[in-house]
Amino acid sequence: MNKPEKSSKAPLVICGLPVEEFLFWCNDPTARELISHYKQKAKDAKASGDSRSEWNFMTAHANQALEALEKGKIDIACREFFHLGEVSDSINRIPQEDTEYAFELMEAHRIRTAPLRSKVIFAKYLKHTAQKLAQENWQSDTDQQIRISEMADIVWGKLYERITTEFSESTRESALEALPDLPVGLRPWLRELAPDYAKKPGRPRKK
């Protein structure tokens, strides 16, 4: 399979960071530090007698963000961090302070982890994404027709499209190096969660 043409679509940005930068940051202790910061802010505010409902929302979204990170559900973590930002912006006395604090943490993370943005880190992200995409496709495969080899073709194309459309230019090259040159390279990852019928040799019989 030939690699498709690169798209001119604007890269996806989350919390002011390109998507892959945000993913790295979510795996860093500073992500949890920021969650703790939000929770402590809400706790202190309520202890001082501030009864605004925003503080309860902040605590709830912070807890959900932490739970998502612990379970590796980065998509849910993205959503909860977005809501945390919304709640923070709605509380007049803290948005500027929290914004500066968050960006200080992110910048410190970028500087500290720059040498670690290697093929191994990207491979971990790609494996997670590949397995998630495959699982979604197999769940909808009611006729049980998609074998591992075919699923590898499907997922490889989606991974390549995601890298070339959502990753920033500064990290796209490293991500492409981590992506197997051919779909067959994804098969070991997909075999870990493939349903039994998908592991059978040969092509499925036509119904």
Does 131 map to a domain? yes
**Structure tokens, 98:** 């929290």
Does 64 map to a domain? yes
Region 192-207 average pLDDT: 79
Domain that holds residue 155: 117-199
41 and 65 share one domain: yes
Alpha helices, DSSP H, located in 48-178: 53-70, 74-90, 95-113, 119-139, 148-166, 169-178
93 and 163 share one domain: no
Global pTM exceeds 0.75: no
Does the structure show a pLDDT above 90 at 7? Answer: no
Q: Which of 191, 36, 22, 175 is nearest to 101 (CA)?
A: 36
Q: Residues with Cβ < 8 Å from 85, sequence gap 6 or more? A: 15
Q: How far apart are CA 25 and CA 75, in angstroms?
A: 13
Q: Which is higher by pLDDT, 133 or 32?
A: 133
107 and 134 share one domain: no
Pick from 115, 141, 175: which residue ends a domain? 115
107 and 151 share one domain: no
Does the structure show a pLDDT above 80 at 19? Answer: no
88 and 157 share one domain: no
Say if residue 32 is exposed, middle or buried (CB neighbours under 10 Å; 0-12, 13-18, 19+): middle
104 and 142 share one domain: no
111 and 121 share one domain: no
Does the structure show a pLDDT above 70 at 15? Answer: no
163 and 81 share one domain: no
109 and 64 share one domain: yes
How many whole angstroms from its chain centre is CA 66?
A: 14
Q: How far apart are CA 22 and CA 43, in angstroms?
A: 26
65 and 32 share one domain: yes
Region 123-130 average pLDDT: 84
35 and 103 share one domain: yes
**Which tens digits make up the pLDDT trace of 135-187?**
999 999 999 999 999 999 999 999 999 888 877 776 777 788 889 999 999 99
Does 7 map to a domain? no
Does 3 map to a domain? no
77 and 156 share one domain: no
Does the structure show a pLDDT above 90 at 34? Answer: no
Does 187 map to a domain? yes
Block residue for tokens 């929770």: 39
Pick from 76, 91, 115: which residue ends a domain? 115
Identify the pLDDT of residue 94. 44
Number of domains making up the chain: 2
Q: Which is higher by pLDDT, 192 or 7?
A: 192
Does 8 map to a domain? no
Report angle CA 84, 87, 98 to the nearest 5 degrees. 70
**Which tens digits make up the pLDDT trace of 65-92?**
888 878 777 667 777 877 787 777 777 5
Does 9 map to a domain? no
41 neighbors 47 (Cβ within 8 angstroms): no
Pick from 85, 115, 145: which residue ends a domain? 115
Region 90-111 average pLDDT: 53
**Which tens digits make up the pLDDT trace of 136-147?**
999 999 999 999
Helices 19-26 and 119-139, packing angle to 10 deg: 100
Does 121 map to a domain? yes
